[in-house]
Chain A
Amino acid sequence: MTGGSVLLLILLVLPLIGALVVAPMTGNPRGAKLVAMGFALASLVLTIITWLAYSPAAVESGSRFQLELSVPWIPAFGTSFALGIDGIALVMLALIAVLIPIVMGFSWNQEIPEGRTESGFFALLLTTQGLLVGVFAATDVFLFYVFFEAMLIPMYFLIGRFGGPRRQYAAVKFFLYSLLGGLIMLASVIGLYVVSGTALGEATFSWTELQSIAATVPESTQIWLFLGFFVAFAIKAPLVPFHTWLPDAGAEAPIGAGVLLVGVLDKVGTFGFLRYCLPLFPLASQRLAPLVLVLAVVGILYAALLAVAQSDLKRFVSYTSIAHFGFIALGIFAFSSQSLAGATLYMVNHGITTGMLFIVIGFLIVRGGSRLIGDYGGVHKLAPLLAGTFLLAGLASLALPGTNSFVSEFLVLVGSYPREPVYTILATVGIIFAALYVLWVYQQTMQGPVRGAAVLGALERAGGPGTMIAPEAAAKKGAFPDLSGRELAVLTPLIVLIIALGFFPGPVLDVINPSVVATMNEVGLADPVGGIR
């Protein structure tokens, strides 16, 4: 069980080394940022190599994980440092690798609180990246647990040290909430270990071995173990009613960290459903699916309505995300290859679209100095590109056909309908609410006459105290400037991905599909429409 590919190990360790290199460079922020970006781009290249090295076809011939590496860790407890990826993990790795350089580009000139260093911020970003790779690449349940808990630490510091005015409250809430979920999961991890001891003779944490006995575990045991994992993942994802930490964390986190938090970190929850809940507890997953579906659909509608009523732009994005996580959970627990593939693709797409939405809102907040929707108005007059990119991000968020999100949302819904028509119809009604919250916020902030305290304040500052210059003159003076070259460069890859994946999702779906079929087989269900190939 030793040996194999070191590619994933390098992918995991490289950003962590980067963090160690960058962290001490407190006296040279520019150098620190350049080095950090270098590591991020190197990780991106390495991820592309990983993508090319991965063979979707090999999954069909039985290799559940690829690029595997296994080193005995604590043999006495049957745990090993085991890495390996399937298509689902691979697309998540790709998402991280794409988002990290973008987040760095966004955070390049950000203002940071007094007493903090830019090198610290960038080092924490790299740490987060490395630990996230560990979460997605671990094929040992105990190792997964360790990464699952460890990734909280850099995010805690990102929020607590670099965040907004209420950052301490938000960071602690985030941390305690996640820690609580993690502890409950730990109980299940240990329980699983015990069960494997009875079934296999020797207890193990190996995912593959645990999966091989999954079908033989009695349903009642499965349900208890399932619940431990589920609660941790439902907090992480988050599903209603475990969601209230996210609006606080999302609002107080610096935008760059918020992109990672909502874009990737939260996906660990839905990834956990796919990797751990479904294959390890197939009977419990089916038995408890109605419960999850209710939470999912309630989340879609409830969070969307809450999003409409938000007055804070960052809390608004958080609530839209909670609604989107409802779609992902619906797809996962509707058990069809379309809905599962849709949910997986949704995880990727949501990272891209919400990342873009967060970033554009960040550009807006940088200019106006306020997070409140009511402080903005008529921005399109001053910064048409900013308004246009905001609209594009919003349209992707409401899953307009032609954008990436449509493909995933369509797959989730069309795949969920055959087995769960009622929940699917309710979720479909959610697309009206999505249009409502996106267009409402767009109208409030971007359309109409120039207005709002933040915008008028910026104009006043440009014209000197007590005066307010006309919008046209302000645009010339750069009072409320349109997107700069750097800002456009940050957004361009996201825009390209949104459109390209809207029309050509094939390359990503090809990677996802075989692993989804494997997951379906592990659950032991056939497609409700057609047969699994």
Chain B
Amino acid sequence: MLDVIGIASRNLLRYGRRTLLTLLLIVIGMVAVLLFIAVSGSFKSMMVGQITDSVLGHVQVHRKGYVASIDSLPLNLNMRPNMLAKIESELDSNTAIAAWSPRIKFGGMFSNFAETTSIRINGIDPAREATTVPLLSGRLQEGDKNAALVERGQIVIPLLLARGMKSQLGDTVVVVATNKDGSVNGKTFVVRGILESISGPGGRDGYIHIEDAREILRMTEDQVSEIVVRLKDFSQLNRVGGQLKAAVEGLTNKEGKPMLEVHDWTQLSPFANIAKMIDLMTLFIKIVLVSIVLVAVMNVMIMAVYERIREIGTIAAIGTPPSRILGLFLAEGLMLGIAGTLAGIVLSLAGIYGINVWQPTFDFGMQKGLVMAPTIAAGDVLTIAALVIVVAIIASLQPAWKASRMDPITALRHV
């Protein structure tokens, strides 16, 4: 084997410029793919992390039909205490769930006593919310990030609303809302924090304590609009989400119809479509890479066989077994693939390191000055490297097969 590789490497060096050009194509392809995966993957992870860890959680449970009319935040589709008891039991018994948090969501009017505007409010249990969406307090642009997000009588408002209403920390404001029976109630709050807005549902909501929400809405029982669930391992989303769906949606009313529904973040955030687009583009660029490697290696190997027909005839005549001739040419393709892969990995990692040092910023929707910090998993690098090497071997297969099947007499006569 080492002999075959030794001779194959000499043959590659025979046409140094051609080999270098082929390697260059492979390296460019590798660098393009790995940088794209690193940049887009990091962007995706950052956005998904921000959406799930500061707003949506990984999975949400609602009363059946709530998500379909979520824009109107219907109070008549809140979950009743008997439903909550069953859900709590399911959530507490599932060892894959790290935390969960109940929310009461409603739409109301926000007034600073001079002006009034509409606001979407989340009534939360601050302790549970902190463990379920741990990055939420990190979005506080003003206010203490280390204290509980809200205490009773406090409100956290989104940045755009704070700017529009010229509200500042410590200001007293009023929130007025209509409950499900149509009665209007209001309550004064002190602005405790101003929250950076982010793209997607819930990204521009205000937060109050859940007991304050119940008070405004004059709830006589412990209803909630949604339960936000955080998993211990995000990569298990499909499996655990499926388990939860089966368990929770199995809870039925007297008519035998499901009372509740379970959605994971991809069903709740439009960013999931962008994430799918990124995945699709990654797939597309991988296909481009495969094509580049396939065409480049196949071209160089076809040329190599054509230019060495007499040589192939000679080695076949002196008794080289067809399988070893096949091996010689496959080894050339393999070495092209390995050399291109190694160079591609080194340059890509250098590029990723360079971007991390440079720290370019970009804007996305409401978010300004996001820092590009690409990272790439070893698994992705190994997958792409294996892909390139396998494709290089496949590309060499036809020319190598042709060389191994060549009739020595015809080959020796070739001019």
Q: Do the two chains belong together in a single complex?
A: no
